[in-house]
Amino acid sequence: MATSAPGGSRVILRRLREIMAVGDDVQSRLDRLVAMIAATMVADVCSIYLRRGEALELFATVGLRAEAVHRTRLNMLEGLVGLVAESARPLNIPDAPHHPRFSYRPETGEDPYNAFLGVPVLRTDRVFGVLVVQNRVAKTYDEDEVEALQTIAMVLAEMVAGLSGDRSFLAEVEVRPSRPERLIGRAFSDGIAIGVAVLHEPHAPLGRMIADDPVLETARLNTALHSVRLGLDAMLESDGSRLSGASREVLETFRLLAQDRSWEQRLKEGIGAGLSAEAAVERARQQHRAKLSSVRDPYLRDRLHDLEDLDNRLLRSLAQSGGLGRTEMPANAILIARDLGPAELLEYGTDRLKGIALEEGGPSSHAAIVARALGIPMIGRLQDLLRRVEPGDVVTLDSELSEAHLRPQSEVLASMQQRIALRSEQAAEFAKLRDLAAQTLDGHGISLSINAGLALDMRNLDTAGAEGVGLFRTEFQFMVSETLPRLRAQTKLYAEILDLAGRRPVTFRTLDIGGDKILPYVTAEREDNPALGWRALRIGLDRPALLRYQLRALVEAADARALRVMFPLVANIEEFDAARAFMQREMDLAYRKGRAGPTSLEIGAMLEAPSLGFVIDSLAGRADFLSIGTNDLMQYFFAADRGNARVSDRYDLLSLPALRFLRQIARDAAAARLPISICGEAAGKTLEAMTFLALGFERLSMPAGRVAPVKRMVRSLDRRAAAAAVNALLDAPTVRVREALLTFAQGAAVML
């Protein structure tokens, strides 16, 4: 058979390109195409079925009766053609009429044909058609024939997509998603956005699907494979252990897969069949995604995810070597990704990025924290997002409803535009609060600060009308660097932050890594439960050089200014004493060297481990202040991993156990005369913030965009009345706390 050699496939692809390039109408081109495939593959029948609406319609054939074209329609689960579409895999059988899924259609005249080979026509991971060849003789097509037909189907998909502008002929043919869709996810960062989709993961350039020089394409593939393998080796093998943002297990899997000769051989077979290097990888990715949609076993799904991620790495390497790089960002980009790291997000910049939509992700991820700091709306956990969206699609994001609209109707767009206008008006109203005091109706002054982690966050101090930075996360500088930031670089950043803050206080949290935040230059081992493992201050105490290096940079950066430092995840008094001793050593060193050092030094502890909440009295005289990190404190308090979608929503901070614990912490801190603040994400939610004030807290730190709404709430609140109401709720044996708090706020005219 002509296609049994790689040269045969190249001939077919070249002829395919020639047919589709001719300016005939679509039907004529499809008719010529099936005739060419049948002749080249020595087949008695070649047919193209495309999905129109909810059926697979015969669009072109040679061998079956011509009158069956556009007349024969199979539902998506009907017949052998439906089986191919359903499974997204080739079907190769010698005796089709006796297969249990065979569906006889008398108008086709396919009675004499026995051998059947059908392959899905895939675009992204969506099946929108089936390509079939048949023969009278009962036979099983060999692997080369199957491979050839799959290759043709892949190029056919892109070429038909290029013809989809002919809506009269291809009406309702879903070559690419075109219908409006609404996806419900979870809001990770507040805001409303309208823009066009930009895919984070690369795609093969559609204009270069077919290549005429297999030697050149194989060389390009070899170079890209070598680059990917070297990169993975470098992550894992620096002085015996080198980790990246993914876990060691995942990276080890990547490395094994990258060395898989069968995967490499399949890519090279694609090139031998006439595809470009990018198209060969694209074909592999489409096959992996198609299989993923039908696999339910968690282990197999993880392996297919790994394969797809590896395909993406290889495509990125090919794009860079080909000088293609990242696509130019439109002025209103909505970034589409499966998941995203903070460094990847920062690479896109902020001037053109209007929103982010993720198929996975989590609200406590560092990418989500960065998005909130930048004021970029982010919606995550949008099921099947990647297979439902195309580059350039109009996308809207709505954090209030936690939803995304793909290719929205005009009514939806108009509604979103009105809401954006209303939010702009509301922002103008909030701006009027900027210079007003955060004081309750009964005269209690409340301190409102912002959370930050980047130098660009500091611009929000003035616009938000905040009193200072209640939490500066220092780990972002470490996470976006491939090597440990030098002392000079750290000192420069901290000095810049203090300069930008002016006279307003900044509380620096020392390096909070571990768990899901792994640095490539910090040795770590795989842990069964990393959230409860070697992380935060525990790493600093076990690797004192790392902690002292950072403390030295903070002391030098202060340079005759006030300095506030707090240690994360302090679990007991001994840990705090040990960390404070390291700070004292750095202070002594600075004085011995004749440096100015800070004019004043305050050292605090983050109350995230519940254990520390029971020894607050012992911290008196040791710590200068405390700060509650609600995200971690609540996950440990309720034994529910905040990064696990199955359990992260199973508890409510506004519940009896959580609020009773927080009330006791507030009372113990007051008795010990220890200033205490709340700097978790909950501090920026108006109902939660009202409750914290009622419990006795007076210092809140939150994302900059939440300062104005919380200040408005504060200025509408009678704190004494709120305290009486909340304490009565907490002293009741059982109550629906959130509902009761909302009822109180409505009755007291609190502006939430």
Q: Are 360 and 302 in contact (CB under 8 A)?
A: no
The H-or-E segment that residue 317 falls in is helix 298-321
CA 253 to chain centre: 21
CA 256 to chain centre: 24
Q: Are 388 and 181 in contact (CB under 8 A)?
A: yes
b/e burial code for range 665-701 (CB count within 10 A of at least 16 → b): bbebbeebebbbbbbbbbbbbbbbbbbbbbbbbbbbb
Instruction: Give the residue numbers marked as catalytic.
Output: 366, 679
Quick one: how many helices (H) and strands (E) in the chain?
26, 22
Report the side by side order of strands in the sheet with 73-75: 73-75, 55-62, 45-52, 126-135, 115-123, 91-93
Report the DSSP beta bridge partners of residue 602. Answer: 564
The H-or-E segment that residue 129 falls in is strand 126-135
CA separation for the pair 291, 241 (Å, rounded): 34
CA separation for the pair 751, 687 (Å, rounded): 9
Report the DSSP beta bridge partners of residue 186. Answer: 380
Q: How far apart are the first and last CA of the chain?
A: 74
Degrees to nearest 5, angle at CA 321 with 320 and 322: 90
CA separation for the pair 552, 248 (Å, rounded): 31
Look-up: residue for tokens 């079925």?
49
The dihedral through the CA atoms of 506, 510, 515, 519 has a sign that is: positive
3-state helix, strand, coil in the chain (%, to 5): 50, 15, 35
Phi and psi based region of residue 375 (left: phi greater than 0; alpha: psi -120 to 50; beta: remaining): left
C-alpha neighbours within 13 Å on the C-beta side of residue 665: 27
Could you say which DSSP state residue 388 is in? H
b/e burial code for range 136-168 (CB count within 10 A of at least 16 → b): eeebebeebbbbbbbbbbbbbbbbbbebbeeee
Closest residue by Cα to residue 243 from 517, 515, 519, 480: 519
Give Cα separations from 698 to 529, 690, 701, 725 (angstroms).
34, 10, 10, 17
Which contacts qualify for 334-337: CB closer than 8 Å, 24 or more apart? 334/193, 334/195, 334/196, 334/197, 334/198, 334/395, 334/397, 335/198, 335/200, 336/197, 336/198, 336/199, 336/200, 336/385, 336/386, 336/389, 336/395, 337/199, 337/200, 337/201
Q: Report the SS3 class of residue 187.
A: strand
Structure tokens, 215: 């030697």
Q: Are 645 and 383 in contact (CB under 8 A)?
A: no
Structure tokens, 144: 């080369």
Give alpha helix (H) positions in 446-507.
460-464, 475-479, 487-501
Report the side by side order of strands in the sheet with 181-184: 181-184, 403-406, 394-398, 192-199, 333-337, 353-358, 378-380, 186-189
Structure tokens, 62: 């040679």
